[in-house]
A and B are shown apart, each in its own frame.
Chain A
Amino acid sequence: MPLLEMDRVTCVFGGLRAVSGVSLHLNQGELVGLIGPNGAGKTTIFNLLTGVYAPSEGRIQFDGESLVGRAPWRINKAGIARTFQNIRLFSDMTVLDNVKIAYHNHVRHGVFSSILRLPNHFRGEREIEDKAMAFLSIFHLEGKKDEMAKNLPYGEQRRLEIARALATQPRLLLLDEPAAGMNPQETRELMELIRFIRERFSLTILLIEHDMSLVMGICERIYVLDHGTVIAQGTPEEIRSNPKVIEAYLGEVTS
């Protein structure tokens, strides 16, 4: 059984069919790419998967349970985390606090423990801090832990967003254009990083990306979206040679 399954999902905004009858699945441990021209509906699919939008039609199942109608924070607790195309860090909080937030649901101390400073408050807060520091060091951000997130350079903000998403300890990670605005060197490092965290945390990853070298380089399967529908799917080689894809999208990029 696939870890994630979208079955003929449609999402309509007024008269606009942003996503129309999309079916896709991710098996446990896969790294899958989602590509397509601007406005094809890629980010809408992420928003459907994370509960920001509810599908007008269709089923979404994660690990055998339906995600339709669940609040985003519950979907995160179930094991799906994401990053955002336009970075959404907690900009006036420190780098460390950004990651600490993400570990929120993995400790138990309640409001009264914190107000009365009971021992389990200190135990819980120490666990949060240690775990957050561990995530920061994976992303080589431990030296910047006390900086405000908004003061980080762009590439580090992207890395912090991934670190923060990982700290919620997901099984499925959705990356929305992680290489946007990066130079080729940074993109190569990002590819290495994605490969590494995938192994280390046994993640399943769905990736939206415009950088073809990245998508073709690390994805095992690719879905191509155009005008809200899946027009092709397959291995990077199959996608590269698919005439429909070349016509809709890749032709302009590779020529």
Chain B
Amino acid sequence: MTGMNANGRAAKSSRWTFWVWIAAGLVLYAVLGLLIDSGVIDSYMSLIVYQMCLNVILAVSLNLINGFTGQFSIGHAGFAGVGAYTSAVMTAKMHLPFPAALLVACVFTAFIGLLIGIPTLRLKGDYLAITTLGFGQIIQVVLINLQYVGGAAGMTVHKETNFTWLYFAALITVAVIANFVRSRHGRACIAVRENEVAAEMMGINVTYYKVLAFTIGALFAGLAGALAAHTFYFIKPTSYGFLQSFNILVIVVLGGLGSITGSILGAVVLTLITALLQDYPQWQMVIYSLILILIMIFRPQGLMGTKEFRLSSIGLGRRRDGHAAP
């Protein structure tokens, strides 16, 4: 067969590519860690870095649902809320060790995602948007009225995380979702986005892949929520409403629906902008909105579109497919 040899090389190079990315991630960790330890990044700025890590997890996981699989979910913060409160109950009330609480939170949030996904995603159309919107509201109302977790006043949690926890959680999230997307399973999800009828006719179990993407997305939202709870050691129901879901959606759209590196870039940029605008409270929303409007006018497809930043674009590795490096 022609091209056999080249294909063999391509597969090898993709194996290699993955480890180069991981190595780059570790180098960035070392650099940021050093800067934080040495005080170059002060405690206020390190909070911004923490928030970036959390936003990366939330945006990349929402991108799997909205960008890659083409399902419109607008309740991502609700899942973060489920993760936050589950983990908080586990550590503060059940006195479970933090890693165990994290695991329980992820599994439970994924389960809730499954519960919502199965009936909703069987239907074709925009039902998911309506359901997830309602889900976000229900979560808030339930939490406000649940005295066991402090009701509207919120709940205090131990601080359990540090930069290492947050950074590696983000790194693992990106690695898992990138590996998922770049496999036959991820291609199936993209095919569902591109043309549901044709995908089903090619033997793709459309409902299965929609529910799978939605559940994986919920799991990582739960992770981000649990980490956030134990980073900022105080949680309240209003942190998981529509506005927060909308903020995550903005990051994903701004970075580019269907681009993981776009979501990372979007998370970093928007977290920075939000942090910088803290100093001008009266102009904050005006400037924020203005920036969004300008980006959408000049790059309606988002910063990265559906493209990815690839090693090949800086002269490393081989070009593997048609996604031209930007």
On whether the beta carbons of B184 and A114 are closer than 8 Å, the reply is yes
Least distance between A251 CB and chain B CB atoms (Å): 35
B interface footprint on A88-115 (CB within 8 Å = 1, 0 otherwise): 1111111111001110110101010011
On whether the beta carbons of B7 and A133 are closer than 8 Å, the reply is yes
On whether the beta carbons of B187 and A126 are closer than 8 Å, the reply is no
Which B-chain residue is minimally distant from A119 (CB atoms)? B15
On whether the beta carbons of A89 and B198 are closer than 8 Å, the reply is yes
Interface locus among B84-92, B95-103, B199-207? B199-207
On whether the beta carbons of B184 and A102 are closer than 8 Å, the reply is no
On whether the beta carbons of A104 and B188 are closer than 8 Å, the reply is yes
Interface locus among A57-65, A140-148, A189-197, A218-226? A140-148
On whether the beta carbons of B195 and A89 are closer than 8 Å, the reply is yes
**Cross-interface CB contact of A130 among B7, B186, B197, B202, cutoff 8 Å:** B7
On whether the beta carbons of B188 and A148 are closer than 8 Å, the reply is no
**Cross-interface CB contact of A73 among B1, B11, B194, B206, cutoff 8 Å:** B206
**Which residues on A sit within 8 Å (CB–CB) of B187?**
93, 97, 100-101, 104
On whether the beta carbons of B198 and A114 are closer than 8 Å, the reply is no
**Which residues on A sit within 8 Å (CB–CB) of B180?**
111, 114-115
Q: Which of B2, B188, B322, B323 has the most CB of A within 10 A?
A: B322
**Which residues on A sit within 8 Å (CB–CB) of B194?**
90-93
On whether the beta carbons of B203 and A77 are closer than 8 Å, the reply is yes
On whether the beta carbons of A109 and B184 are closer than 8 Å, the reply is yes
Interface range on chain B (Cβ under 8 Å from partner)? 35 or more
On whether the beta carbons of A133 and B3 are closer than 8 Å, the reply is yes
Instruction: Tell me if A129 is interfacial: C-beta within 8 Å of chain B.
Output: yes
Instruction: Tell me if B279 is interfacial: C-beta within 8 Å of chain A.
Output: no
**Which residues on B sit within 8 Å (CB–CB) of A124?**
184
Within 8 A of A (CB), among B1-28: 1-4, 7-8, 10-11, 14-15, 18
Least distance between B116 CB and chain A CB atoms (Å): 20
On whether the beta carbons of A101 and B201 are closer than 8 Å, the reply is no
Q: Using a Cβ cutoff of 8 Å, how many contacts connect chains A and B?
A: 127
**Which residues on B sit within 8 Å (CB–CB) of A146?**
321-322
Which B-chain residue is minimally distant from A123 (CB atoms)? B11
A interface footprint on B302-324 (CB within 8 Å = 1, 0 otherwise): 00001000000000000001110
Interface range on chain A (Cβ under 8 Å from partner)? 35 or more
Least distance between B67 CB and chain A CB atoms (Å): 12
A78 to B199: give the CA distance in the assembly, Å.
Answer: 16
Whether A137 contacts B184 in the complex (CB less than 8 A), given A117-B179, A147-B322, A164-B202, comes out as no
Within 8 A of B (CB), among A138-161: 142, 145-148
Least distance between A70 CB and chain B CB atoms (Å): 12
On whether the beta carbons of A93 and B191 are closer than 8 Å, the reply is yes
**Which residues on B sit within 8 Å (CB–CB) of A89?**
195, 198
Instruction: Tell me if B176 is interfacial: C-beta within 8 Å of chain A.
Output: yes
Which B-chain residue is minimally distant from A137 (CB atoms)? B2
**Cross-interface CB contact of B1 among A125, A133, A147, cutoff 8 Å:** A133
Instruction: Tell me if A52 is interfacial: C-beta within 8 Å of chain B.
Output: yes
A94 to B188: give the CA distance in the assembly, Å.
Answer: 14
Instruction: Tell me if B49 is interfacial: C-beta within 8 Å of chain A.
Output: no
On whether the beta carbons of A90 and B201 are closer than 8 Å, the reply is no
**Which residues on A sit within 8 Å (CB–CB) of B185?**
111, 114
Instruction: Tell me if A22 is interfacial: C-beta within 8 Å of chain B.
Output: no
A125 to B201: give the CA distance in the assembly, Å.
Answer: 21
Which B-chain residue is minimally distant from A101 (CB atoms)? B191
Instruction: Tell me if A72 is interfacial: C-beta within 8 Å of chain B.
Output: yes
List 5 extra interface pairs beyond A111-B180, A126-B11, A128-B184, CB under 8 A.
A73-B205, A84-B198, A96-B321, A114-B183, A148-B322
- What are 30 inter-chain pairs, A to B, with CB distance below 8 A? A50-B201, A73-B200, A77-B203, A82-B201, A88-B195, A88-B197, A88-B198, A89-B195, A89-B198, A90-B191, A90-B199, A91-B195, A101-B188, A104-B187, A104-B188, A111-B180, A114-B184, A115-B180, A115-B183, A117-B179, A129-B11, A130-B1, A130-B4, A130-B7, A133-B3, A133-B7, A134-B1, A142-B2, A142-B3, A164-B202
List the interface of chain B (C-beta within 8 A of A).
1-4, 7-8, 10-11, 14-15, 18, 176, 179-180, 183-188, 190-191, 194-195, 197-206, 212, 306, 321-323
* 3 A-B pairs with the lowest CB-CB distances in the bound complex, closest first: A114-B183, A146-B322, A90-B194
